[in-house]
Structure 1
Amino acid sequence: MTPSTSLIERSEKLLLLGVGCYFLFANFTPVFVTHSFVACLYLAEALLDMTFTVTRQRGPLSHNWRDWLVAVLGTYAGLLVVATPHVSPLLPSLLCGSLALLGILLSLSAKLSLRRSFGIIAASRQLKTGGPYRVIRHPMYAGYLLMQVAFLLQYPTAHNAVVLLFTWWMQIMRINAEEKMLAPRSEWVGWSKEVRWKLIPFIF
């Protein structure tokens, strides 16, 4: 690995950890943490992302600034949501909590399948096809989606809806950037033909 590549790797980690710490600090208020099980899981997922960012292996990163932008925004913009206690949930809190728990378990299973191949910026690392990757190409993002839907159902405000719609606009662009990085690899081409669905089976 060249010195310039190593510098990019270190810069990526510092950037992502800095952004993650800021968002956690900004949102880590007593109401966010103690108000509900859903809010606790939501923040726990952010902490998991930061942990896996530190431990993941090196790999050729995208040098396209747009790929970096959508990766950072897709990962951390969702933490701009607000857990508002006085808002009535659209579904019983037990159902919202169950959906959020399912989301974090799906996301965690994807991270454990990736192990040190986990990354936030689009990169060409070791291809993983086991576990939840047998069913959809981006199970980690599917887990994020379940958690964020659960959060919106628990705290259905216009602010949260706008934040999460923007987050998923970034996530779709992030998925496209990652697949563009992997497209030249023959093993990815074969696997993507077998695993047709990117995010939601039979829909997308």
Structure 2
Amino acid sequence: MATAAIAKDLGEAREKRLALLLDFAERALVFAMIIGFNIRILPHYSESICYLLIMVSEGVTALMILIRRPGKTLNTVYGWTLAVLGTFAPLLIAPTHAMLVPSSVAAAIMTVGLFCAISAKLFLRRSFGIVPANRGIEREGPYKLVRHPIYLGYVIANIGFLSANVSAWNALVYVSCWAAIILRIRAEEEVLSTSPEYGVYQAQVPYRLIPFVW
């Protein structure tokens, strides 16, 4: 019995060390990627409000991840692949100045998306992270409309930026991001569904991403 208890304690200690290591790796990777992204975008920020808006968006994301609290995460290759693809792929976009709509219209679309994403992040406070995790259930603010308002904000902001920076590369980047968002939602809800509280929330807010659609 004593041997089994010791083995269990050692196993739990290893899991905690791994969780701490992954948590540090996530924060360090986010910090490094955000710095690189801003270095690329900074020379262009005065050319269009869109560049300033996207720098603000990604900066808030970095800040929320750096200060967020740990939680029970989906520590699998699949979970981390989705997190990395969904979070860092948007940082691969490149300014093109090829516009489908005037810059002011694109900026307005981005502003709506960023307001949605940032307000949802502020409601989450220290529960925000990029790897699927259960850090508590949020029901207030934009979470009364859809269960994943941050992702809804991302999609809207992506559409705004793409409409002012059209290219096959940027379109490919964002389509990959949107596919990752759908998979991330499913992965996150797999983790959250272990809580009976989340089942109640799902019944109250039936739409995951787009109101009245999905």
Under a length normalisation based on structure 1, what TM-score does the superposition of the two structures give?
0.92
1:25-40 alignment runs, 5 A limit: 25=39, 27-31=40-44, 33-40=45-52
- Counterpart check, 1:57 vs 2:97: no
CA gap of 1:10–1:91, structure 2 versus 1, over 3 A, is: same
Deviation at 1:170, TM superposition (A): 1.2
Residue of structure 2 in register with 1:66 after alignment:
78
1:34 aligned counterpart, secondary structure: coil
Unaligned runs of 5+ in 1: none
Cα RMSD for the two superposed structures: 1.5
2:134 aligned counterpart, secondary structure: coil
Which of 176, 185, 190 aligns to 1:166? It is 176
Distance 2:50 2:198 in 1: 35
Question: Contact 1:24 / 1:79 at 8 angstroms: preserved in 2?
Answer: no
Question: Contact 1:16 / 1:72 at 8 angstroms: preserved in 2?
Answer: no
Deviation at 1:80, TM superposition (A): 1.3
Question: Contact 1:104 / 1:147 at 8 angstroms: preserved in 2?
Answer: yes
- Counterpart check, 1:156 vs 2:169: no
Residue of structure 2 in register with 1:47 after alignment:
59
Distance 1:17 1:60 in 2: 22
Question: Contact 2:33 / 2:91 at 8 angstroms: preserved in 1?
Answer: no
Deviation at 1:28, TM superposition (A): 2.4
Unaligned runs of 5+ in 2: 1-12
- Counterpart check, 1:16 vs 2:16: no
1:28 aligned counterpart, secondary structure: helix
Deviation at 1:103, TM superposition (A): 0.9
Deviation at 1:176, TM superposition (A): 1.0
Residue of structure 1 in register with 2:141 after alignment:
131
2:132 aligned counterpart, secondary structure: coil
Query: What one-letter code is carried by the residue in structure 1 that aligns with 2:174?
Result: L
Deviation at 1:20, TM superposition (A): 3.0
Residue of structure 1 in register with 2:21 after alignment:
7
| Deviation larger for 2-11 or 134-143 | 2-11
Distance 2:104 2:33 in 1: 31
1:197 aligned counterpart, secondary structure: coil
Distance 1:152 1:186 in 2: 39
Under a length normalisation based on structure 2, what TM-score does the superposition of the two structures give?
0.88
How many residue pairs end up in the alignment?
Answer: 200
Distance 2:24 2:173 in 1: 29
Greater Rg by CA: 2
Distance 1:200 1:60 in 2: 27
| Deviation larger for 72-81 or 179-188 | 72-81
Tell me the percent identity: 32
Distance 2:35 2:191 in 1: 28
**Deviations 1:16-74 (Å, cap 9, x if unpaired)?**
3233333333x32523x222111211121111111111110111121111111111111
Distance 2:77 2:198 in 1: 24
Query: What one-letter code is carried by the residue in structure 2 that aligns with 1:176?
Result: R
